Structure 1
Amino acid sequence: MNHTLFSAAYNCLQATDPAVKIQLSRVTAEQWHTGQLSLLDDTPVLPITMAGHPPQLKLVHPRAVPKRKMQTPEGQIALLHAIAHIEFNAINLAWDAVYRFRQLPCAFYADWIKVAVEEAYHYELLSIELAKRGCCYGDLPAHSGLWDMAVETAEDVLVRMALVPRVLEARGLDASPYIIQRLQQAGSADLVTILQIILHDEIGHVAIGTRWFQHFCAERGLLPTETFLQLLKKHYTGKIHAPFNTVARLAAGFSTEELSLLEQL
């Protein structure tokens, strides 16, 4: 058995059963923390066009995903499923960052292993709530936008750090307060608690992305704000939606200058 971090990350990434992916994530994190996984690995990095997900999950165009009216039981199921899909993809994205990008500081791998374990916990919380409502992850269609960006940014760790944590995950920071407010109005206290946990942790995840983006910019002699906006215009085809969760974004490492420039976009 090849006890390298990269082979272990690949196994986490490819697991299709959510329970297996969560268990592998926790075992791999424990092996990393106890020094059982080496960073010495000369095997080639494989292109991964699609990470492991439940075989019954149907991927569709974003417009074909069920609408989420949070006041109804069906709407809450659709919302929970959509967020579970985001968190499941986030597990894959964290392990892909570990697997794909080599010869980096140990702290980089430690950070993304931490993210993978926290995303697995988020997914588990949502999965339990789905099960209470007679639904499993994979029962509803979802879209592949998050993983599409992983493929788009597979060649450069700086581009990955710019566009996955600081664009896609940061959008979650903006959306969360509105969703939480609507769920509070609907009297869904349990779901509110879960989303507050996720929001708290996601600020930390975006901050990790920001820190490493700035680290790689410094290594290459690039200006972070200008580089971020250039990469955004080059690679991101979606819309930048205001209003921003300014408090959360500032806590996650965005500068006031960046937020001002993003608002202009």
Structure 2
Amino acid sequence: MNFREQALFALQQTVIEDKVALVNAISLDTHSLEPAQILSNTLPLPGRPQKPELVDPRTVKMRSVGSLEGRAALLHAIAHIEFNAINLALDIIWRFPHMPEAFYTDWLKVAKEEVYHFGLIREHLESLGFHYGDFTAHSGLWDMSEKTTDNLIARLALVPRTLEARGLDVNPAMQEKLQQVGDEKAVAILAIILRDEVGHVEIGNRWYKHLCTLHQLDPIQHYADLLALYGTNKPKGPFNIADRLKAGFTTEEIDWLQRS
């Protein structure tokens, strides 16, 4: 299998250990990339284990991190985000042809880092006596990917630039909550995730703006148009402005976001 076929094969896997091993085994060597190849899929995507049970986001219980179960629930939610992020990176590799080689290697690097993040959170969760799958979860991140299967610029705008960028905003507050209950390990893991997610959002920003330039689109106006087209609310603050700037948002974009 070539580079992009391997990404699709990893995405299809329902056993977590198989998915992780396959992602780690994909080489960044682009000699087998074949960016022009049109791939097709006949299996349910993404491949995922039977648990966690996916439910309506409005029914997912909010728990205080002051209790062990509440802290585990928060870590489980983060693990689920990281698992979805693995699948999202794999999906963008196989689904969208005719992009420069660097596009595919960028997203493979993202997939590998998301595997690392998932492993860190999963291991810590298990050290507390819980497992990934013990709590319910929702599929918000993946749902947006399904809405944008035929539009790469929309995928970049609404997943990394919107949903994943939101992680930059909320991560510091989660670190503070976990710091208050003395979970230094979780704080350190979230710091690693924040550091790497800045890079992931930057990749999404960079390729979104590449396509805007290619198609002579204004990045801010087109982003607003895509939010409206896909029925997505404009992100609301407070924003982690320092990390959003590092992730490639311009001051003009941040000013636009902050306008009510």
Q: TM-score, normalised by structure 1?
A: 0.93
1:28-81 Cα offsets, whole Å, 9 max, x none, are 1x2x33x56341674543387631111122100112113131111111100010
1:112-162 Cα offsets, whole Å, 9 max, x none, are 000000000000000101111222211211001000000011111111111
Q: Pick closer, same or farther for the CA change 1:41–1:194 going to 2, 3 Å.
A: same
Indicate the residue corresponding to 2:85 in structure 1: 90
Q: Pick closer, same or farther for the CA change 1:47–1:228 going to 2, 3 Å.
A: farther
Q: Pick closer, same or farther for the CA change 1:241–1:249 going to 2, 3 Å.
A: same
Indicate the residue corresponding to 2:5 in structure 1: 7
Distance across 2 between alignment mates of 1:4 and 1:142: 33
The residue correspondences of 1:21-36 to structure 2 (distance < 5 A) are 21-28=19-26, 30=27, 32-33=28-29, 35=30
Q: Partner amino acid for 1:253? A: G
Distance across 2 between alignment mates of 1:255 and 1:41: 32
1:188-207 Cα offsets, whole Å, 9 max, x none, are 10000000000000000000
Distance across 2 between alignment mates of 1:47 and 1:157: 21
Q: Partner amino acid for 2:191? A: Q
Q: Pick closer, same or farther for the CA change 1:80–1:110 going to 2, 3 Å.
A: same
Q: Partner amino acid for 2:139? A: S
**Is the 8 Å Cα contact of residues 225 and 258 (structure 1) preserved in structure 2?**
yes
Q: Pick closer, same or farther for the CA change 1:132–1:88 going to 2, 3 Å.
A: same
Q: CA deviation at 1:226?
A: 1.1
| 1:64 corresponds to 2:62 | no
Cα RMSD over matched residues?
Answer: 1.7
Q: Partner amino acid for 1:227? A: H
**Is the 8 Å Cα contact of residues 10 and 99 (structure 1) preserved in structure 2?**
yes
Distance across 1 between alignment mates of 2:138 and 2:233: 14
Distance across 1 between alignment mates of 2:56 and 2:35: 40
Distance across 1 between alignment mates of 2:4 and 2:49: 22
Q: List runs of 5+ in structure 2 lacking aligned partners.
A: none
Q: CA deviation at 1:236?
A: 4.3
- Equivalent position to 2:112, from 95, 117, 139: 117
Distance across 1 between alignment mates of 2:37 and 2:199: 32
Q: Comparing 14-23 with 140-149, which one deviates more in the overlay?
A: 14-23
**Is the 8 Å Cα contact of residues 91 and 116 (structure 1) preserved in structure 2?**
yes
Q: Pick closer, same or farther for the CA change 1:236–1:85 going to 2, 3 Å.
A: farther
Q: Partner amino acid for 1:254? A: F
Q: Partner amino acid for 1:79? A: L
The share of aligned pairs that are identical, in percent, is: 45
Q: Comparing 10-19 with 79-88, which one deviates more in the overlay?
A: 10-19
Q: Comparing 234-243 with 37-46, which one deviates more in the overlay?
A: 37-46
Indicate the residue corresponding to 1:235 in structure 2: 230
| 1:192 corresponds to 2:187 | yes
* Equivalent residue pairs, number: 260
**Is the 8 Å Cα contact of residues 14 and 52 (structure 1) preserved in structure 2?**
yes
Distance across 1 between alignment mates of 2:22 and 2:187: 28
Q: Partner amino acid for 1:4? A: N
Q: Partner amino acid for 2:13? A: A
Q: Partner amino acid for 1:24? A: L
Indicate the residue corresponding to 1:167 in structure 2: 162
Q: Comparing 231-240 with 148-157, which one deviates more in the overlay?
A: 231-240
1:63-109 Cα offsets, whole Å, 9 max, x none, are 21131311111111000100000000000000000010001100000
Q: Pick closer, same or farther for the CA change 1:103–1:40 going to 2, 3 Å.
A: closer
Q: Partner amino acid for 1:20? A: D
**Is the 8 Å Cα contact of residues 13 and 96 (structure 1) preserved in structure 2?**
yes
Q: TM-score, normalised by structure 2?
A: 0.95
**Is the 8 Å Cα contact of residues 108 and 212 (structure 1) preserved in structure 2?**
yes
**Is the 8 Å Cα contact of residues 153 and 159 (structure 1) preserved in structure 2?**
yes
Q: CA deviation at 1:213?
A: 0.3
